Amino acid sequence: MSIAACRICQAPLRHTFVDLGMSPLANSYVNRRQLNQMEPFYPLQVFVCDCCFLVQLVPVARPEEIFSEYAYFSSYSDSWLEHASAYADSVTRRFGLHGNSRVVEIASNDGYLLQYFASKGISVLGIEPARNVAETAVQRGIPTLIRFFGDETARELAAEGKHADLIIGNNVLAHVPDLNGFVRGMESLLRRRGVITLEFPHLMRLIEQNQFDTIYHEHLSYFSLITIQKLFSCHGLKLFDVEELSTHGGSLRIYLCHEDDKEKAISERVKDLLSREEKAGLTKLEQYLSFGDQVKQTKREFLKFLIAAKNQNKSIVAYGAPAKGNTLLNYCGVGTDFIDYTVDRSPHKQGHFLPGTRIPIYSPDRIGETRPDYLVILPWNLTEEIVTQMSYIREWNARFVVPIPAVRVL
Ligand SMILES: [Zn+2]
């Protein structure tokens, strides 16, 4: 295999952060018709750059294969809507957005976030490559360009005079193959006193909390604040503030402006987090190289639990069909030999099968009908919510199992 180059600094990628073996695309749910067909599996090997410390995958599938018909509609989740509405209020106040301002969101999904700006009379524009969700946004009155964002899109918009006072990119950076082009694009689209805010899962949390299952082919890059600050500063953008959020097991929201924007001073929170990351070893290669052993250990512990339960003739089912569950189950080699089925509230997933493991997905009602002994919570970031919602399994003395960061039986 030839050595690939770092997505940010082009240094050769010589070090493995973690190797999760061969895995199917985590969002490629299998339907009944596809059950007797083969599925493509791709290597899920993550590298760390010894120069800029970007943790990254080498792309294996074209973005069009992954994003043209995206199954996830943001508006379905109540907690996301609250998060979005609170964010819109806060930035509108903090940066004094008004009727003549323009907000551009990259990867705007079905327009769930931009609707809160539009309702304040602020002009909005969404950019979204997945046609099915973009069309939903247009139907609800959110102007949306159906395409990928990059250098070229940004230059076209800038040439039309459509500069932005606020550019938003939530959970999109990890998916971008050409990071430098993407950041250059944001820089050229941003008005002189404008602000960019981006949200993405925090690499420090991924390592600390052993969240290796959040690694899948769609997520090409995993960022620390240290690395992301370097990336943006190469393109004339200043990181002036950061917030730590609880979403996705621990995310960062960063705030950026043009380097020469003297109105925005770098906050203490930026300095504090940079120094905490350094203390956590994120500027030392050895820290990254030890992650793989931690992951193998987790696999052995999870299998130990499953084998012991099956040897006692216990029945095990799962809750949820998130992408992260597919990484966990495929990496651990766990199929219907251990887990009879999983359930999901999304009607888009019910009646399908998990990619690779082919575990069937049913409606949550099935749990009351089959009364399993253990319920493995795959979306561990929603454990509290699921334990409350499914508390009736205690009636037949069933137990909840959370696999990450380490197996816990509740
Ligand atoms: Zn690099």
Taking only the tens place, the pLDDT of each residue in 253-292 is 999 999 999 999 999 999 999 999 999 999 999 999 999 9
- Mean pLDDT across the stretch 190-203? 97
Residue 301 binned pLDDT confidence (cut-offs 50, 70, 90): very high
Q: Which residues surround ligand 1, an ion (CB under 5 A)?
A: 6, 8-9, 11, 49, 51-52, 54
Q: Taking 90 as the threshold, does the pLDDT of residue 399 lie above it?
A: yes
Phi, psi dihedrals of residue 146, rounded to the nearest 5°: -95, 90
| pTM of the predicted model as reported, rounded to 2 decimal places | 0.92
What pLDDT digit, counting tens, does each position of 211-249 carry? 999 999 989 999 999 999 999 999 999 999 999 998 878
What pLDDT digit, counting tens, does each position of 141-179 carry? 999 999 999 999 999 999 999 999 999 999 999 999 999
Q: Residue 72: what pLDDT?
A: 55
Q: Residue 134: what pLDDT?
A: 92
Give, as one character, the DSSP assignment of residue 181: H
Q: Are 75 and 112 in contact (CB under 8 A)?
A: yes
Whole-number Å distance, alpha carbon 284 to ligand 1 midpoint, is 13
Give, as one character, the DSSP assignment of residue 100: T
Whole-number Å distance, alpha carbon 352 to ligand 1 midpoint, is 39
Whole-number Å distance, alpha carbon 54 to ligand 1 midpoint, is 6
Whole-number Å distance, alpha carbon 47 to ligand 1 midpoint, is 10
Mean of pLDDT over the chain: 93
What pLDDT digit, counting tens, does each position of 18-42 carry? 999 999 998 889 999 999 999 999 9
Q: Taking 90 as the threshold, does the pLDDT of residue 68 lie above it?
A: no
Whole-number Å distance, alpha carbon 319 to ligand 1 midpoint, is 38
Whole-number Å distance, alpha carbon 256 to ligand 1 midpoint, is 21
Measured distance CA(224)–CA(229) in Å, rounded = 9
Q: Residue 63: what pLDDT?
A: 58
Q: Are strands 144-145 and 123-127 parallel, antiparallel or unpaired?
A: parallel
Query: Percent of the chain at pLDDT above 90?
Result: 88
- Mean pLDDT across the stretch 73-94? 83
Q: Are 273 and 229 in contact (CB under 8 A)?
A: no
The 10 Å CB-count burial string (b at 16+, else e) for 263-299 is ebeeeeebeebbeebeeeebeeeeebeebbeebeebb
Residue 348 binned pLDDT confidence (cut-offs 50, 70, 90): confident
Whole-number Å distance, alpha carbon 48 to ligand 1 midpoint, is 8
Whole-number Å distance, alpha carbon 154 to ligand 1 midpoint, is 24
Whole-number Å distance, alpha carbon 218 to ligand 1 midpoint, is 19
